[in-house]
Amino acid sequence: MYPQEFLYTKEHEWIRVDEQIGTIGITDHAQKELGDIVYVELPKSGEHVAAGESFGTVESVKAVSEIYAPVSGEVTAVNPKLQNNPETLNSDPHGEGWLIQIRLSERSEIEKLMTADEYEAYLQKEKST
């Protein structure tokens, strides 16, 4: 379910890191919790995001949810598909529904993130409380 090559946050974002570039999205669990996603607000290329801070919002019919940066960096790409097809976040959250790419400024920050196995255990724990 949750790709092994991704790292995860407690706020249900994922990041895939290739060298200095990280691709960020929300997890399948997050999209299920939100329901039908109808609007996504993201930063522009060149803007900075800081680890643990909100860099955008995802809105479903019912709710608004902040998205938090797993690590710090400069935005290098924004998924162009999402403005007109926000439902991509529901249909393919770990693939076509990626949000932004960033150039990592503090690579060591990834050490604080969860692996897929840790994330799944975390979800189990969240579910039982």
Partner 1 sequence: MAAPTGVALKRTALNSLHKALGAKMVEFGGWEMPVEYSGIIQEHLAVRQAAGLFDVSHMGEIEVSGPRALPLLQYITCNDASRLKDFQAQYSALMLPKGSAIDDCVVHRWGEDHYFLCVNAANTERDFDWIVQHNAVGAELRNVSAEYAQLALQGPRALEIISKVTPTSVAGLEYYWFCRARCCDVEGILARTGYTGEDGFEFYFPVAESAKVWNTLLEAGRPEGLVPAGLGARNTLRLEAGYPLYGHELDEDTSLFEANLGWIVKLEKGEFMGRDALVEQRARGIRKKLVGFEMRDRGIARDGYAVYIEGKAAGHVASGSYAPFLKKNIGMAYIPPSLAKVGREIEVEIRGKMAGAQVVPLPFYRRTK
> Is 84 within 8 Å of 37 (Cβ atoms)?
no
**Residue 38 in contact with partner 1, rule: CB under 8 A:** yes
Q: Which residues contact 128 (CB under 8 A, 6 or more apart)?
A: none
Which of 10, 35, 106, 126 binds partner 1 (CB under 8 A)? It is: 35
Would you count residue 47 as binding partner 1 (CB under 8 A)?
Answer: no
Residue whose token pair is 């529901």: 90
Q: Is 57 in the site for partner 1 (CB under 8 A)?
A: yes
Q: Is 61 in the site for partner 1 (CB under 8 A)?
A: yes
> Does the footprint of partner 1 cover residue 92 (CB under 8 A)?
no
Nearer to partner 1, 39 or 95 (CB): 39
Q: Whole-number minimum distance, CB 104 to partner 1, in Å? A: 27
Instruction: Please provide the DSSP assignment of 42-69 as one string.
Output: -PPTT-EE-TTSEEEEEEESS-EEEEE-
